[in-house]
Amino acid sequence: MFLDVLKAPFAVPVPAVISRSQEGPGEMGRAVLIPREEQEKMKELFKINQFNLLASDRIALNRSLPDVRLDGCKSKVYPEELPNTSVVIVFHNEAWSTLLRTLHSVIARSPPRLLAEIVLVDDASEREFLKASLENYVKKLDVPIRILRMEQRSGLIRARLRGAAASRGQVITFLDAHCECTLGWLEPLLARIKEDRKTVVCPIIDVISDDTFEYMAGSDMTYGGFNWKLNFRWYPVPQREMERRKGDRTLPVRTPTMAGGLFSIDRSYFEEIGTYDAGMDIWGGENLEMSFRIWQCGGSLEIITYSHTGQIFQEFPEIFPSNSLEIPRRIGQLQDFPWPGMFDGSCLTIPGVVKVDYGDVSVRKALRESLGCKPFSWYLENVYPDSQIPRRYYSLGEIRNVETNQCLDNMGRKENEKVGFFNCHGMGGNQVNKNREKHLKNKEDIFHGIKSHSLNSPLLTLRHLNSNQCLAEPSEEDRLVPTMRECGGGRSQQWLLRNMTLGA
Ligand code: UDP
Ligand code: MN
């Protein structure tokens, strides 16, 4: 099905649209609207890369963009002496017009002395036009451009590693293959790295509509975080960070994580902190792993609000495997954190995963050791205190019934559904419970944990607030659901909390 689309006659690239006036389609970042009679064709083309290719192909490869910077950013003067950068762009079956627009925007809007070269890494694309046609095209451009080809599909991380290793600039700037850089995007990134080589910097990421290719300014009021499921998410810049910057929105935002598509890093620092974790496949999650590592191992991560770069925001193309579960599991192993135990708030019942093969992490753990990296709890406490993940736990781990020796288990159900009961497997996943307080919350049901015996005992009874009953072992009829009974029932109402990592 996908290959059929590839072979469709209109999948060949349009000739480079280079001459333009400010009036042309998409100029100044305006939206391109496709007339009704072409909607069918537009929909067909959309399937190829999960964006409106017909619209993209109508826009000049060097289209003009609005200057979306805050006023205070426009007049900023940078030191003459800045490190230069290699721009590394990896791609897999990227569309011609979006890839070339990325290149043209880099070339047009980077001071030549700062742009050492562009390194393109083709992650085993199948499309013909990305072969000789691309080589011939880039030869005519005014900047040294190399194209490296992965022999087989290797994924974003390994492709980027290849590009980084072959590059020569003092700084490495990674870009996705469907970006547009705006005026003045590069200088502030390099200037910050010059000030502090251990700062890894991201521009504000503007949105290029996947539908109309309209260019929309990203916000300087959001920063990168992540949720329980270890998905990268944008969140409002918290008050404490606004205060640290004394309300000056042109100052860099210290961000807990980066989106990953676009950032600059000092080359030697990139190597020093261990580049990427090449044990991660395809893409997704590598940005979080790297963000954690940067912060934990002595660096910092910032959004430079002077710098804007647009990126097409697409739904994930079907050709890529969805964010796989090996990656959260692998990150969890690196961080000694029971990911992907999927917990949320203080609820018990979020589906998780138990057995996934996350590969060998010993080398990466040794690296962290040798770098003297701080633990995840430090990161949560100091870098991301606004996180949904509580810094301190009363318990984090399984809840085992003393009588039956079985565990509370969410049975892979959706969040907020009733909890189940199953053999303890000690693998985390659905049996990981996390509680900030000594109580257990499930939907509207709140249980208060009451310590049995001595103060140091990990044994609890769990008293239901509304009914005043206690959580107990299942009944004979249904061995898979815990019951509620009058309190005082002895061992069948005693629960052993086993902490897995971060104790309170
Ligand atoms: N990419 C790649 N190999 C892959 C997957 C992705 O080279 O196996 C490239 C892709 O062409 C793009 C970048 O990696 O330049 C990021 O991928 P994508 O845009 O799909 O990710 P998203 O921006 O949606 O996170
Ligand atoms: Mn992308």
**Ligand nearest 156 Cα, by number?**
1
Comparison of pLDDT for 421 and 271, the residue scoring more? 271
Q: How far is the CA of 430 from the centre of ligand 2 (A)?
A: 32
With a 6 A CB cut-off, is 122 part of the ligand 1 pocket?
Answer: no
- Look at residues 232, 256, 261 and name the one whose alpha carbon lies nearest to residue 157: 261
Q: How far is the CA of 248 from the centre of ligand 1 (A)?
A: 34
pLDDT category of residue 400 using cuts at 50, 70 and 90: confident
With a 6 A CB cut-off, is 280 part of the ligand 1 pocket?
Answer: no
The pair of structure tokens assigned to 129 is 């036009």
pLDDT for the residue 409? 78
Q: Which residues pair with 433 in a beta bridge?
A: 397
pLDDT for the residue 353? 37
- Let me know: does 358 contact 385? Beta carbons within 8 Å: no
pLDDT at 416 over 60: no
| Burial environment of residue 323 by CB neighbours within 10 A (0 to 12, 13 to 18, 19 or more) | middle
Ligand 1 atom 16 nearest Cα: 176
CA dihedral 340, 344, 349, 353 (to 10 degrees): -10
Comparison of pLDDT for 284 and 462, the residue scoring more? 462
The pair of structure tokens assigned to 479 is 């061995």
Task: Provide the greatest CA pair distance for the chain.
Answer: 83
496 vs 489: CA distance, rounded Å: 15
Q: How far is the CA of 311 from the centre of ligand 1 (A)?
A: 12
Q: Which residues pair with 264 in a beta bridge?
A: 173, 201
**Ligand nearest 323 Cα, by number?**
1
pLDDT at 7 over 50: no
Q: How far is the CA of 58 from the centre of ligand 2 (A)?
A: 20
With a 6 A CB cut-off, is 313 part of the ligand 1 pocket?
Answer: no
Q: Cα-atom radius of gyration of the chain, to the nearest Å?
A: 26
Ligand 1 atom 23 nearest Cα: 261
Question: What SS3 state is found at 242?
Answer: helix
Handedness of CA 153, 158, 160, 162 (dihedral sign): negative
Q: Which of 92, 262, 282 to mutate to test the pocket of ligand 1 (most atoms within 8 A of CB)?
A: 92
| Burial environment of residue 44 by CB neighbours within 10 A (0 to 12, 13 to 18, 19 or more) | middle
Q: How far is the CA of 432 from the centre of ligand 2 (A)?
A: 33
- pLDDT, one tens digit per residue, over 173-212 is 999 999 999 999 999 999 999 999 999 999 999 999 999 9
pLDDT category of residue 449 using cuts at 50, 70 and 90: low
| Distant-in-sequence, close-in-space partners of 93: CB < 8 Å, separation ≥ 6 | 6, 49, 125, 126, 127, 130, 319
Q: What is the mean pLDDT of residues 245-251?
A: 93
Q: How far is the CA of 177 from the centre of ligand 2 (A)?
A: 7
CB atoms within 10 A of CB 357: 9
Please confirm whether the linkage preceding 375 is cis (ω < 30° from 0): no
pLDDT for the residue 237? 96
As residues whose CB is below 5 A from the ion ligand 2, the structure lists 176
Domain 2-312 class? Answer: alpha beta
**Ligand 1 atom nearest residue 123's Cα:** 7
**Ligand nearest 282 Cα, by number?**
1
Q: How far is the CA of 310 from the centre of ligand 2 (A)?
A: 10
pLDDT at 118 over 90: yes
Domain 395-498 class? Answer: mainly beta
Residue with tokens 């969890």: 332
Q: Which of 134, 156, 309 to mutate to test the pocket of ligand 1 (most atoms within 8 A of CB)?
A: 156
pLDDT category of residue 443 using cuts at 50, 70 and 90: very low
Average pLDDT over all residues of the chain: 83
- pLDDT, one tens digit per residue, over 18-55 is 445 678 999 999 999 999 999 999 999 999 999 999 99
pLDDT for the residue 342? 38
pLDDT for the residue 417? 59
- pLDDT, one tens digit per residue, over 62-73 is 999 999 999 888
**Ligand 1 atom nearest residue 90's Cα:** 7
Most confident of 93-102, 282-291, 419-428: 93-102
Q: How far is the CA of 314 from the centre of ligand 2 (A)?
A: 7
With a 6 A CB cut-off, is 177 part of the ligand 1 pocket?
Answer: yes
348 vs 431: CA distance, rounded Å: 9
- pLDDT, one tens digit per residue, over 482-495 is 888 898 878 899 88
User: For the chain, which residues make up each domain, given as ranges?
Assistant: 2-312, 395-498
150 vs 152: CA distance, rounded Å: 5
442 vs 444: CA distance, rounded Å: 6
Provide the percentage of residues in the chain whose pLDDT is more than 90: 57
With a 6 A CB cut-off, is 174 part of the ligand 1 pocket?
Answer: no
Q: What is the mean pLDDT of residues 144-172?
A: 96
pLDDT for the residue 337? 72
Residue with tokens 């261990």: 274
183 vs 310: CA distance, rounded Å: 11
Provide the percentage of residues in the chain whose pLDDT is more than 70: 77
CA dihedral 230, 234, 235, 241 (to 10 degrees): 100
366 vs 357: CA distance, rounded Å: 19
- pLDDT, one tens digit per residue, over 291-348 is 999 999 999 999 999 999 999 987 654 443 444 567 777 888 888 776 654 333 333 3
295 vs 241: CA distance, rounded Å: 16
Q: How far is the CA of 152 from the centre of ligand 1 (A)?
A: 15
Q: Which residues pair with 408 in a beta bridge?
A: 421
